[in-house]
Each structure stands twice: as C-alpha cells, then as structure tokens.
Amino acid sequence: MGYNKRSNFLTVVVVLTNPSQVILRNSNLFENQNVLVINYEDDRLPKDLLEHANKVTALALDFHHHLQMESETSQELSLFFSHCLPNEELFDTAIIYYPKAKALAAYLINLAGQHLKPGGQLVVVGENKSGIRSLVKQIPSYFDKPFKRDNARHCLLYICELIDQAPKIRLDDWVSQYQLETPQGEITVCNLVGVFSEKRLDEGTKLLLSNLPKMKGRILDFGCGAGVITAALLKEQPKLQIECVDINAMALASCELTLKANNFIATTYPSDGLDQTQDKFDGIISNPPFHDGLKSTSEIAKKFVSDSVIKLRRGGVWHIVANRHLAYSDTIEANFGQVNVIAENNKYKIYSNKFNKQTR
C-alpha cells in the first residue's frame, strides 16, 4: 500500500508474487498471443500480461483471487471462477501456476492441453518448495518433454509443446468416491483432486457431528469442502434448507457430487468469508479452515465470528469446531456475550452458541 502525495489519495499497490514476476521476466513468450492463465495467484498478473498478449483469459480456482480481478474484465481480459472454462476456446499459450497438491497439477495440465491449439505452448511456473521439480515426470505423453526456461526468485519456469490431442476432461476420472461412517450414519463422499480428504472422518469433524444440536430452517455450512457435514446433517435432519459455501472451486464441485451421490438437495455457491451470502440464517455450522496461529489466519477467524452474528436470526445456532490453540474465546464472548464450549478433547473444542438479540 502506498500514499500518493500529489493527489492526497491512498493508493493500493499490489505486489506480484514471485511466480508472477518470473512469468513477466519471460514476457517475450506471450507476444501477440491469445493466452490462458490457470490457477493464478492473488495479484494482477492477468491484467499485466495484456502489455504483451493480444488477449488473456484467466481461470481462478480461488474465489478471493477472482474477486480481486473481477472489476478488470474487458474485451481483451476474460475472467472466470470455476474448475473449468465455460467454453471450448483454444489458445496459443496456457500458463499454469503449479498447485500445492500434485494430483491437482495433473488435472490442470490436462485442462490446459484440452484448450491449447495443436502445437500450442504450455508454461508451468511454481516455487521450488511447491514440488514443481516433479513436473518433468508428470507431463503426459501428449506434450513433449518440458524444458527449464528460467530459475529465479526461488521459482522454476518450464515450457513444453502440445504434440498430440489431449483427452477431454471428465470429472468422474478425477474423483475419489468412498463410504464414510458418521455419527448420523453412512454417507458417500466424492472428493476431487486438490480437496483435502483422509478417506475417514477427521477428528475435528467427528467431534462436531457427535455433538450436534437440533437444527431447523435455513442453515449455512461455511467452508463446506467435499460436503461431509452437510451430508451428515441431511442424513439425520432431511428437512433442513442448507447452503454450502467455500472459496475453492474444486471443493464446491466435490460438494455437488457428494450431494448427488447421496440423493440430497442443498445449494452450493462461492463466498469469500460470508460476504456473498444473502439474508439471515437459523444456524451456521462449520469446521472452519483456520488451522494455524499466523496473524492473517487469526484475523480471518475473528471476522468469521463477527460476521456470523450479523448473519444469524434471533435464536439462531452457531456451532463450530476449532483447534484448542486458536484464540476464539475472546472474540466469541465479545460478539455473542458468552462462550459456550459443549465438548472438547486434547485437540479440539466445540463452540455452540445461540444468538440473543440483546448481545449484539
């Protein structure tokens, strides 16, 4: 963030991530091309590429990243949030930001190949610690052997060429389906690559589901992931009207598949925190994705608590599980007027509060 003295306005300066800086170091690769960017990070790289490319299409798998760029949409810059593109357009070059999950990388490579012209160029960039060095062994036979084009800012950038037709993406080929025993009964879980799964009920969610309050009406499952909590809730309380939100496109697609596999009905949509949810809820339930003590994570958790109070109807239930070391108590007391821990073990606590209008 910077301050513009001449205009007396505060100016936000978005610094490019290291992988994005390495991409722009190699901007000659994209001159006068139609470029697809997949899984871009929290910066303005898709817009900056227009200084070199004729047209850029960017696909975000993280909804927050999409929102940061959404206002920049133009005739030359198309922006999408999803696990796939809504059309079959072909591109001269596809850029992939190598993800943390190796299995997701394979999916993104297939997706890029599906949208490249014959002989099209694939550019893959990632931090050294991301596992990008395994790319050479991971590239499928419809690409030629990747060539290491750049090594800078603790990142590697590889390029290769599409030499054969890539197979069409079928989600069924990228999903792990398994039966999961919950306190509410057995459910079917569908987990796409890149979505956290242990193929068993994790300890935090198990404690949460083992101590469920009776819920009614309109319920929000925040950070729904593959839909385990929603499926378990609907198994026991099928009349609930549940809305499932997540920031990750693969998680939302997984949740939809899980609902379909169990013949359950719920609404799924992306939301950055609770910002995209509408109106008020009779309950909010979550195993929120805040797992460490970093400052940014703590601030997100605090905002989730305060926003939850705004989104609950009077008498609404707020029911979450959290790691014991996360400092939720002060924030919960400040927003709900009290802290109600109904169950705990050596790793987790279950916070379950009812919203009383007088405590706001």
pLDDT tens-digit map of 19-32: 999 999 999 999 99
- Which residue is associated with the tokens 């799924």? 268
Is the pLDDT reported for residue 50 higher than 70? yes
pLDDT tens-digit map of 267-318: 999 999 999 999 999 999 999 876 543 445 677 778 899 999 999 999 999 9
pLDDT tens-digit map of 171-229: 999 999 999 999 999 999 999 999 977 778 889 999 999 999 889 999 999 999 999 99
Report the predicted TM-score, pTM, of the whole model to 2 decimal places: 0.92
- Strands (E) in the chain, as ranges, are 2-4, 9-11, 34-38, 55-60, 77-81, 91-97, 116-127, 147-152, 155-161, 175-182, 185-192, 218-222, 241-246, 267-270, 281-286, 312-323, 341-344, 348-354
- Which residue is associated with the tokens 């800078």? 152
Q: Return d(Cα 177, Cα 174) in angstroms, integer.
A: 10
pLDDT tens-digit map of 144-164: 999 999 999 999 999 999 999
Domain 172-359 classification at class level: alpha beta
| CATH superfamily of this structure's domain 2-161 | Vaccinia Virus protein VP39 (3.40.50.150)
The structural domains of the chain, with segments of one domain joined by +, span: 2-161, 172-359
